Amino acid sequence: MDVLREATRRYGFPIAALTGTALSMAMTGHVTGLWNNLFHLPILAGLAGMPQFARDPFIQSLPHYASGFWLMLAGVAPGDKAWPLLLALAIASRLLTMAAFLACADMIGISDLKGRLLFVVLIAFSSLANGYSTAGAGGLFISYFTHSEVANATILLSVWCAARGRFTAAFALNGATAFLNAFMAAWAAAPLGFIAILLLARGEIDGRTLARRMAIGLVPFTMLAAPAIYSILSNPEFGRPSDFDFIAFITEYFPDHFLVAELSPKTLLAFIVATAAALAAAVALVRIEQRAAFCLAALLGFVTLWLAGTILPLITQSPILLSLHLLRAGVGIHLFGALAMAALTVRWAQSAALSDRRIRAPLLALAMATTRYALPLVVPIVLLAPRLRLPPRIARLRIDFAVAAILIAVVWPMQIVSQTRFNAMLARNIAAWRALGLWANAHSAPGALFLIPIGNIRLPPPYPAKDPQQIGLSTGSEVFETFAERRIWVDVRGGGAIMWAPSYHRVWRQRVLEVMALPDHAARMAYAQTHGIDFVIDGCGLGRPVVTVGKRCVYAVTRTSSARAPLLVNRAGS
């Protein structure tokens, strides 16, 4: 028994971290080739160095993608080699984030194996920690790998270090954040600043010591951030005045990261509810454990950032400032809100009070770890907890057993199954586009140009979808260019490159507007003929295709030297 107890004490942290990672990966699943992987896969494949992409404005912009992480991996994983790499990175990222959450929980007094296991289970299924942040659309635990989700972990760790007064380490970790995502490192200034004020106010650190540790921390920060800083400063377009209205561009492209005025009332209400729930849980946690004050300070820092993001577009049109994505900083509200709710649930579950263990803890677990529609229940549960005195008969009810049964046997399995089915649908579409890309690589000349279906991210004006079928056909197309090693005419999501390559705006916007306005296959073929496009990928049953992959077909625009003799091929696919 003593051996088991010693093993639990020594290995409880990694056991909990691995358990939380496994459950979280089961919750989200993993799919490579989604959405923002459009930017990552061409870097991994080294497309920018291929002659056929020498004058492609999108591909040539990618070396200035402000992330040292992807620059470090440029050219290391072409084609299918990216799949195991990105899966491994997704698992490592999730493990690092779970470890960061556990480190923060340890400061709040959750250090035994049972408490840690309950904590990571709640984090894995937390509605705040999964998906995207409300009113900002920042990624949290999501179903594909991006560098920004790794930066979530380094932000948690930098806050953990700062809460312990170790600002040298906090700054070093923020340098790692800058290496991953430069603007997320800028966000971290707010929570770190609020924690510094907290420690100064409590007398836990003096101003001179704080300044010295911060100054020393600037050295590792600069060293780690250097690749991203170099990428930004070496960009020939950095700091140049743009010849278009940047706010109009982000309104058309994807305003969710930037413009509060473009968010729906429902989204704003959901944000208010989530923020109120996070703050209420953090305040209640501080009442139980004073060491949890860092969580509340970090939350206030991120709330301040988000509020600043609502004002920023009203006072400036600077692309540099707006590219800080301040509304997206709401991820911090979600991260520390999930931390506060999970930690409060565990502390109640371990309380000596029967009503805390059997009623309040399970009710809070039900509110935080099911759906965001249940988050409005968090505030009354938290606020009434210290005031409500339950009769012994009520307090003895085994609500904890009932809630555990509902979550374990019904809610969480349903969520996993639903996400698995959604991921499978995406994977089928990605596989079809991979097959199309491989065909293009084998049966077209390197200089061939393809017109692919495009669908807008949000479909705001002025992008009317004249042919709505194109939106469905475009699902999974992010992988085509990488597998084909051939140029495409335009992709809507690729407009994100305008953030670091403003000169791409004119070409991108003109082409997107033209292609979105094409009403049918005949119009797309005619457009391709007049714009030097060699192949059109479209729905099937519209003409004589050279290849068919599921519901998508490739049509040769002209019989030129850029294409070999058309092959009539039919392949299974989505």
Give the tens place of pLDDT for each residue, 555-574: 999 754 443 333 334 444 44
Examine the pLDDT at 17 and tell me if it is beyond 90: yes
Digit-coded pLDDT (tens) for 484-522:
999 999 999 999 999 999 999 999 999 998 999 899 999
DSSP helix/strand/coil, 487:
strand
Residue 286 DSSP class? H
According to the model, what pLDDT value does residue 197 have? 98
d(CA 68, CA 60): 16
Examine the pLDDT at 332 and tell me if it is beyond 90: yes
d(CA 280, CA 179): 33
The tally of CA atoms less than 13 A away on the side-chain side of residue 532 is 4
d(CA 282, CA 284): 5
CB 296 within 8 A of CB 191: no
Torsion angle of the four alpha carbons 131, 134, 136, 140, in this order, in degrees rounded to the nearest 10: -30
Residues 6+ apart with CB under 8 A from 93: 145, 149, 150, 153
According to the model, what pLDDT value does residue 548 have? 97
Average pLDDT over residues 61-67: 87
> Could you tell me the pLDDT band of residue 258, with boundaries at 50, 70 and 90?
very high
CB atoms under 10 Å from CB of 203, counted, come to 7
CB 349 within 8 A of CB 288: no
Q: Identify the weakest region by mean pLDDT among 33-42, 326-335, 389-398.
A: 389-398
According to the model, what pLDDT value does residue 563 have? 39
**What per-residue string of b and e applies to 497-509 under the rule 16 or more CB within 10 Å gives b?**
bbbbbbbbbeebb
d(CA 569, CA 565): 12
How many percent of the chain have pLDDT more than 70?
92
> Could you tell me the pLDDT band of residue 7, with boundaries at 50, 70 and 90?
low
CB 293 within 8 A of CB 104: no
Average pLDDT over residues 378-391: 79
For the record, the structure tokens of 284 come out as: 């209640």
According to the model, what pLDDT value does residue 559 have? 52
Burial grade of 24 (CB within 10 A; 0-12, 13-18, 19 or more): buried
d(CA 430, CA 534): 22
Average pLDDT over residues 256-265: 94
CB 466 within 8 A of CB 518: yes
Percent of the chain as helix, strand, coil, to the nearest 5:
70, 5, 30
> Which residue, 535, 351, 376, is CA-closest to 440?
535
Q: Angle of helix 331-349 relative to helix 82-107, nearest 10 degrees?
A: 50
For the record, the structure tokens of 187 come out as: 């966000």
d(CA 545, CA 437): 15
According to the model, what pLDDT value does residue 542 have? 87
According to the model, what pLDDT value does residue 100 have? 99
Examine the pLDDT at 461 and tell me if it is beyond 70: no
CB atoms under 10 Å from CB of 419, counted, come to 17
> Which residue, 558, 543, 552, is CA-closest to 570?
552
Q: Helices (DSSP H) in 261-398: which residue ranges? A: 265-288, 293-315, 319-322, 331-349, 354-355, 361-368, 378-384, 392-395
CB 95 within 8 A of CB 15: no
> Which residue, 279, 271, 340, is CA-closest to 306?
271
Round the CA-based radius of gyration of the chain to a whole number and report it: 26
The full DSSP string for 47-71 is GGGSGGGTT-HHHHHGGG-S-HHHH
d(CA 536, CA 556): 7
d(CA 339, CA 120): 10
Burial grade of 310 (CB within 10 A; 0-12, 13-18, 19 or more): middle
Examine the pLDDT at 462 and tell me if it is beyond 70: no
Average pLDDT over residues 292-302: 98
According to the model, what pLDDT value does residue 3 have? 59
> Could you tell me the pLDDT band of residue 29, with boundaries at 50, 70 and 90?
very high
d(CA 309, CA 329): 9
Strands of 496-565, DSSP E: 535-539, 547-549, 552-556
Average pLDDT, the chain: 92
Q: Domain extents for the chain?
A: 2-30+65-397, 427-571
> Could you tell me the pLDDT band of residue 353, with boundaries at 50, 70 and 90?
confident
Is the pTM higher than 0.85? The answer reads: yes
**Which residues lie across from 132 on neighbouring strands?**
139
Residue type, 45: A
Residues 6+ apart with CB under 8 A from 373: none
**Which residues lie across from 130 on neighbouring strands?**
141
Examine the pLDDT at 384 and tell me if it is beyond 70: yes
> Which residue, 136, 173, 520, 495, is CA-closest to 328?
136
d(CA 212, CA 201): 18
